[in-house]
Amino acid sequence: MVPGEARFGQQVRRVLRWQLLFMIATQGLIVAGYSVAFANAVDADTLWSALKATGYGGLLGMLNTVLSARSVRKSSRAVIESPNRALLPVFAGLVNKLVIVGGGMAVGMIVAALMPLFVVIGYVVVQIAFVWASARSSD
């Protein structure tokens, strides 16, 4: 076990909780926005589609966090075993994230026909939560 790995795991879980909270808050704002903007004419199917797309984008953002944490853990272990190859897991993780998250967005928007704007909004909000929670954990 690498020193500090338990603390790192706690920080990752904390970041994921904040990301989930931000995603749920964003979905609440979408419901409120639709309710105010369309008053009595809220189309339940459109609202549900927006919520699904936002949730999907948010889950992709959270998956991005998990993949990043996995890369950092592998890199931490690689430093101990072979310092010359310590960055290899980070670069491999970047390729994995690009393929998995980018492919996931494409599948969600094209195959599942989710609303692209809301997929991106969900993803961006969760990434903002990542930055915010990471900055708070360094205090």
Q: How many domains does the chain have?
A: 1
Task: Enumerate residues 6+ apart whose C-beta is below 8 A from 23.
Answer: 54, 55, 58, 59, 61, 62, 122, 125, 126, 129
The pLDDT value given to residue 60:
95
Task: Enumerate residues 6+ apart whose C-beta is below 8 A from 12.
Answer: 65, 66, 69
Lowest model confidence (mean pLDDT) among 12-26, 33-47, 79-93, 113-127: 33-47
pLDDT at 20 over 90: yes
pLDDT at 125 over 90: yes
With bands split at pLDDT 50, 70 and 90, how would you rate the model's confidence at 135?
Answer: confident
With bands split at pLDDT 50, 70 and 90, how would you rate the model's confidence at 40?
Answer: low
Q: How far is CA 117 from CA 31, 111, 137, in A?
A: 15, 15, 30
With bands split at pLDDT 50, 70 and 90, how would you rate the model's confidence at 42?
Answer: low
The pLDDT value given to residue 113:
92
Per the CB < 8 A criterion, the answer to whether 55 and 122 are in contact is yes
pLDDT at 139 over 60: no
CA distance 20 to 65: 12
The pLDDT value given to residue 1:
57
82 Rama class: left (phi>0) / alpha (psi -120 to 50) / beta: beta
The pLDDT value given to residue 39:
66
Q: How many other C-beta atoms are found inside a 10 Å radius of the C-beta of residue 30?
A: 18
**Domain carrying residue 111:** 5-137
- Looking at every residue in the chain, the average pLDDT score rounds to 86
CA distance 10 to 134: 12
* Residue that is written with structure tokens 């909000």 in the block: 125
